[in-house]
Chains A and B, each alone.
Chain A
Amino acid sequence: MTAVLLIEDDDRIRLSLSMALEDEGYTAYTAATAEEGLAEQRRRPADTVLVDLMLPGMDGFECIRQLRRDTEVPIIVISARDDTHDIVAALEAGADDYVIKPVAVKELAARLRALRRRSRVAAAAATAPAATVLTFGDLQVSPDAGEVRLNGAPVAVTRTEFRLLCELAAHPGLVLSRQQLLQRVWGYEFGDERVVDVHVGRLRHKIETDNSKPRHLVTVRGLGYKLQP
């Protein structure tokens, strides 16, 4: 059974959502504060973390950063704020996805399944032998080994970032639109393209020497992104 940790300070939302998630077949762990959630995740790690941004004490952004420091657990932000600043800040802090309250339980379940699928692919890749290595100049991506190397040194990327990089690496020099990436990496039919932009930005921090002038992961204005040597 898949376990989900729900970090949410509103008692009623916490109760109703955990009931609804259990109906969808998940085991729901809950926490009312970020500190409590971090302790809970250490004590009894869940497979996915749902976190609200407005929390008493430590806020959601900091909570995501601390979770990210220790683990690669998929994180979905569930927030009532639909401000671009908040969404981008949460994704930059390390969240994999962002949903806005009120989210339909079916929709949330679909996103959780998509995230789990991604994680499983990445986890399976990590244990498989290193068969293929895709090389882009000083950048090496091994989809099967789950490894990214820059100038020979391994680069730590999250699962979502890794999936995004693999998708782009599988089509060298080809432009992939944000919607295509959302479908192939996040598994959404149609979604918020800012999610792609922020993940690309985070990936650039890790694989580019100069973020403002990316060499490998380039933006094709109005069309999408492509990976090149």
Chain B
Amino acid sequence: MRPIGLRARVSAAFAVGALLLSACVSLVSYELIRNTLFAERERTAVRAAYVDATVVNAGVAGPAPEVAEALRVLDTGADRYVLLHLNGEWYSRTAEPAAGSAVPAGLQEMLGRGEAGAQRIRRDSGPALVVGIPLSGSAAFYEIVSLRELDRTLQLLAVVLAAVAIMVAAGGAAVGWYVTRYALRPLTVVAEAARGVAAGDLATRLDPATEPDLAGLSHAFNDMADQLARRLERDRRFAADVSHELRSPLQTLEAAVSVVHRRKDSLDERSAAAVGLIAAEVSRFQNLVDDLLELARSDQPVHREPTGVAELARGVCTARGLPGSLVEVVPGTPGTWRVDRRRFEQTLANLIDNAIRYGGGPIAVRLGAAGGGRCFLEVDDEGPGVPEEHRPAIFSRFVRGPAANARGAKDGTGLGLSIVAGHAAAHDGRATVGDRPGGGARFRVELAGCVP
């Protein structure tokens, strides 16, 4: 599973935090508002009930109480409902048979004891408040006040507060997203610098002053780049030193052997054979030193320049006594590629030498475009081909195939194809081997970034 990114995590944390905070605030304010409104409404209802109770009390106090008349004169409006309990009978302004059932038994008992009281109830038409006030004698006056309006107001308030909480959470997520983008911006600079170094620009450095909070990272990056540059320089110097140390004695050997070789006719047979051996080994030793140095330097950055590859390829062929017409350019291939001229040339030379040594000579050298700025180079031969199981190892160091032309002196160093692989990798490409249709091997090297 793909790990969740830093930005997503920070944004989620911001959102959850904002949601928690806004939910708490909403809940608390909802409760406060609800209680305040209810208390206010109750006080008003009780006050109105007392006024009404006084009026009704006066109306029913006489010896012949005019109950209906006393209730009728009350100005109750639509949301108040008046009940009178007198001598075991329920009276209301409308002839409602079960009017008394709306009053809870507990409240009736309270009034029975002569105490006033109020209680919230739930009716079919919504929540309501019952206010009970004992009148003179055993009479009790009840007023049922509908709280539906207030309830609706509170419901609306709850919806609004929930919506606000969700919006605040979304806002938190957005802030998190924005803040992380801003916070991560210096890191993209670091990433770009790292890419630059990887691509071979060893002079890339970060300025620790531009982002004080990331100064540690900048310093560490610069130290790393410094060390890398020093190491590469040390490697380069080492290769140069080794080259000098090995090449000087080889020069003496080469010149001295040529002096003796020129006089081999005056030597006896055994000495002449020995001189022949020395001469052959000196030249092999030279190739080995060259290849080892090349391999040691293969991880150095490439120096790309526009290169007329077809002409270069023909030159490599003619230098080996092969016809330049071996080189085929696939139609539509750009004429100049951005490659390291020297390493491209050596790649081609090694592949052709490989074909000569193990494949009976190249029969085609093909140059073509592979799309996406990539170009390829193929060398075909008509030899025995490379068996599937040997293919992965063939680009390793000191791996040699059975030489097709069994002349020992032509034996390679076993480094040619690893150098090819190294050069291909330096160009962000790769070297592969497959079958040529019709028999033989087809070596293919793909190089990236050849066409801008």
Query: Cβ of A102 and Cβ of B247 under 8 Å apart?
Result: yes
- Residue from B236, B254, B307, B336 having most chain A Cβ neighbours under 10 A: B254
Say which residue of A17, A83, A193, A224 sits within 8 Å of B251 (CB atoms).
Answer: A17
Contacts of B430 in A (CB 8 A): none
Query: Cβ of A16 and Cβ of B252 under 8 Å apart?
Result: yes
Query: Cβ of A20 and Cβ of B255 under 8 Å apart?
Result: yes
Tell me the count of chain B residues lying within 8 A, CB to CB, of chain A.
Answer: 36
Query: Cβ of A101 and Cβ of B318 under 8 Å apart?
Result: no
- Additional 5 contacts, C-beta under 8 A, given A102-B247, A224-B308: A10-B251, A16-B252, A81-B244, A82-B293, A190-B316
Q: Is B386 part of the binding interface, using a Cβ–Cβ cutoff of 8 Å?
A: no
Q: Distance in Å from the Cβ of B413 to the closest Cβ of chain A?
A: 15
Q: Distance in Å from the Cβ of A4 to the closest Cβ of chain B?
A: 13
Query: Cβ of A102 and Cβ of B336 under 8 Å apart?
Result: no
Query: Cβ of A104 and Cβ of B254 under 8 Å apart?
Result: yes
Contacts of A190 in B (CB 8 A): 315-316, 318-319
Query: Cβ of B262 and Cβ of A221 under 8 Å apart?
Result: no
Query: Cβ of B258 and Cβ of A101 under 8 Å apart?
Result: no
Would you give the 0/1 interface string for A14-47, flagging 1 where the beta carbon is closer than 8 Å to chain B? 0011011001000000000000000000000000
Query: Cβ of A82 and Cβ of B255 under 8 Å apart?
Result: no
If A81-B240, A190-B319, A223-B336 touch, does A13 touch B311 (CB 8 Å cutoff)?
no
Query: Cβ of A102 and Cβ of B250 under 8 Å apart?
Result: yes
CA distance A222 to B308 in the complex (A): 5
Closest chain B residue, CB of each to CB of A180: B311
If A13-B255, A177-B308 touch, does A189 touch B240 (CB 8 Å cutoff)?
no
If A222-B306, A222-B336 touch, does A23 touch B258 (CB 8 Å cutoff)?
yes
Query: Cβ of A102 and Cβ of B244 under 8 Å apart?
Result: no
Query: Cβ of B259 and Cβ of A16 under 8 Å apart?
Result: yes
CA distance A106 to B248 in the complex (A): 18
CB contacts under 8 Å to A, within B249-301, are 249-256, 258-259, 262, 282-283, 286, 293
Query: Cβ of A19 and Cβ of B318 under 8 Å apart?
Result: no
Say which residue of B250, B305, B315 sits within 8 Å of A179 (CB atoms).
Answer: B315
Q: Distance in Å from the Cβ of B329 to the closest Cβ of chain A?
A: 14
Query: Cβ of A80 and Cβ of B319 under 8 Å apart?
Result: no
**What are 11 A-B pairs at a CB distance below 8 A?**
A17-B255, A19-B256, A23-B259, A82-B243, A83-B236, A101-B251, A104-B258, A105-B254, A105-B255, A106-B258, A222-B306
Contacts of A189 in B (CB 8 A): 318-319
CA distance A210 to B251 in the complex (A): 42
Contacts of A10 in B (CB 8 A): 248, 251-252
Query: Cβ of A177 and Cβ of B311 under 8 Å apart?
Result: yes
Q: Is A100 part of the binding interface, using a Cβ–Cβ cutoff of 8 Å?
A: yes
Closest chain A residue, CB of each to CB of B334: A222
CB contacts under 8 Å to B, within A176-193, are 177, 179, 189-190, 193
Closest chain A residue, CB of each to CB of B237: A83
Contacts of A20 in B (CB 8 A): 255-256, 258-259
Contacts of A103 in B (CB 8 A): 251, 254
Q: Distance in Å from the Cβ of A15 to the closest Cβ of chain B?
A: 8
Contacts of A17 in B (CB 8 A): 251, 255
Query: Cβ of B315 and Cβ of A222 under 8 Å apart?
Result: no
Q: Is A54 part of the binding interface, using a Cβ–Cβ cutoff of 8 Å?
A: yes
CA distance A16 to B250 in the complex (A): 11
Q: Distance in Å from the Cβ of B341 to the closest Cβ of chain A?
A: 7
Say which residue of B254, B307, B312, B318 sits within 8 Å of A102 (CB atoms).
Answer: B254
CA distance A177 to B311 in the complex (A): 9
Contacts of A69 in B (CB 8 A): none
Contacts of B303 in A (CB 8 A): 84
Q: Is B65 part of the binding interface, using a Cβ–Cβ cutoff of 8 Å?
A: no
CA distance A100 to B312 in the complex (A): 21
Query: Cβ of B256 and Cβ of A16 under 8 Å apart?
Result: yes
Would you give the 0/1 interface string for B313-334, flagging 1 where the beta carbon is closer than 8 Å to chain A? 0011011000000000000000
Query: Cβ of B259 and Cβ of A101 under 8 Å apart?
Result: no
- Residue from B249, B259, B283 having most chain A Cβ neighbours under 10 A: B259
Q: Is B335 part of the binding interface, using a Cβ–Cβ cutoff of 8 Å?
A: yes
Contacts of B286 in A (CB 8 A): 102
CA distance A101 to B255 in the complex (A): 11
CA distance A56 to B59 in the complex (A): 137
Contacts of A224 in B (CB 8 A): 308
Would you give the 0/1 interface string for A162-204, flagging 1 where the beta carbon is closer than 8 Å to chain B? 0000000000000001010000000001100100000000000
CA distance A106 to B236 in the complex (A): 30
- Residue from A10, A20, A177 having most chain B Cβ neighbours under 10 A: A20
CA distance A179 to B303 in the complex (A): 19
Q: Distance in Å from the Cβ of B342 to the closest Cβ of chain A?
A: 8
Say which residue of B243, B250, B336 sits within 8 Å of A221 (CB atoms).
Answer: B336
Query: Cβ of B243 and Cβ of A81 under 8 Å apart?
Result: yes
Q: Distance in Å from the Cβ of A100 to the closest Cβ of chain B?
A: 7
Say which residue of A81, A105, A106, A222 sits within 8 Å of B335 (CB atoms).
Answer: A222
Q: Is A12 part of the binding interface, using a Cβ–Cβ cutoff of 8 Å?
A: yes
Closest chain B residue, CB of each to CB of A190: B319
Contacts of A179 in B (CB 8 A): 311-312, 315
Contacts of A13 in B (CB 8 A): 248, 251-252, 255
CA distance A106 to B311 in the complex (A): 26
Query: Cβ of A16 and Cβ of B255 under 8 Å apart?
Result: yes
CA distance A179 to B319 in the complex (A): 11
CA distance A106 to B283 in the complex (A): 13
Contacts of A80 in B (CB 8 A): 243-244, 247-248, 251
CA distance A119 to B315 in the complex (A): 26
Q: Distance in Å from the Cβ of B338 to the closest Cβ of chain A?
A: 9
CA distance A176 to B253 in the complex (A): 39
CB contacts under 8 Å to A, within B42-71, are none
CA distance A87 to B315 in the complex (A): 22
Q: Distance in Å from the Cβ of B316 to the closest Cβ of chain A?
A: 8
Say which residue of B247, B256, B262 sits within 8 Å of A100 (CB atoms).
Answer: B247
